[in-house]
Amino acid sequence: DMKVTQMPRYLIKRMGENVLLECGQDMSHETMYWYRQDPGLGLQLIYISYDVDSNSEGDIPKGYRVSRKKREHFSLILDSAKTNQTSVYFCASSLGTGGYAEQFFGPGTRLTVL
Amino acid sequence: GDSVTQTEGLVTVTEGLPVKLNCTYQTTYLTIAFFWYVQYLNEAPQVLLRSSTDNKRTEHQGFHATLHKSSSSFHLQKSSAQLSDSALYYCALSGRMQQGTGSKLSFGKGAKLTVSP
């Protein structure tokens, strides 16, 4: 069963705390992504990973970093979270690196920073 | 870079009537493929249509779109909207800066379609 999982699904943090969002996929996809989704702004790309330890900034990387030490696992880290990082975060994966393949999305993590 | 401009905000249509969501793009990248993604309430986005061939109609679940590179467009259409089509729709294009670099997907801002009885 092809699947992208995200943990946790809901998270409440205080400003200044560190946040770790985790994503896994069981399809051996090379490429993985982190997006945030905000009303009126759509899906904004934070980071892309083309394979283990091969990460590139997306359109809004400031305030975020990522880690990919295994192909099936991709983490998003917020060091000292800010209130404007309250959002829904989606992880996705796709086959290959060529860009023809569709992206499979996880269920999302709703993060609230107080 | 890439820029995707699509019908945004709220779109309301009556059940049984046609619906069209516009999508145009600008890019300096090497474009690879074009997509429409649909996101139902409280669910993750999922691909609805994909195309990389100019002037070829692509269909799925009653929706269709044709990539027209001459007008930089990939509009989404359906002849008869159903209540179950109510969702958020995103147009997206996949491109890469140059040969040998990785690709990325650029999304429009999304259109929330509501089909009313």
Residue A77 counted as domain residue: yes
User: In a 3-state reduction of DSSP, which class is residue A35?
Assistant: strand
In a domain, A23, yes or no: yes
Per-residue pLDDT reduced to its tens digit, B59-69: 999 999 999 99
User: Which of A10, A37, A43, A57 to mutate to probe the B interface, most B CBs <10 Å?
Assistant: A43
Cβ atoms of A94 and B26 closer than 8 Å:
no
Residues in a beta bridge with B74: none
Look up residue A11 and give its amino acid: L
| Nearest residue, CB atoms, A43 vs list B43, B45, B47 | B45
| pLDDT tens by residue, B75-95 | 999 999 999 999 999 999 988
Nearest chain A CA: its distance from B117 CA (Å): 25
The reply to whether A105 falls in a domain is no
Give me the percent of chain B exceeding a pLDDT of 70.
Answer: 94
**Based on the structure, what is the number of domains in chain B?**
1
Which domain, by its residues, includes A59? 4-95
| A111 belongs to a structural domain | no
Residue span of the structural domain in which B25 resides: 2-116
Q: What is the CATH number of the domain that holds B74?
A: 2.60.40.10
Q: Is B35 on the interface with A (CB under 8 A)?
A: yes
For residue A88, what pLDDT is reported?
97
Three-point CA angle B98, B100, B105, nearest 5°: 65
A17-68 pLDDT, tens per residue? 999 999 999 999 999 999 999 988 889 999 999 999 999 999 899 999 999 9
Confidence tier at B103 by pLDDT (50, 70, 90): confident
Question: What would the mean pLDDT of A90-104 be, rounded to a whole number?
Answer: 85
CATH of the domain at A33: 2.60.40.10
Paired tokens of A62: 């400031």
Query: Residue A112 domain-assigned?
Result: no
Domain count, chain A: 1
Lowest mean pLDDT among A1-10, B29-38, B100-109: B100-109
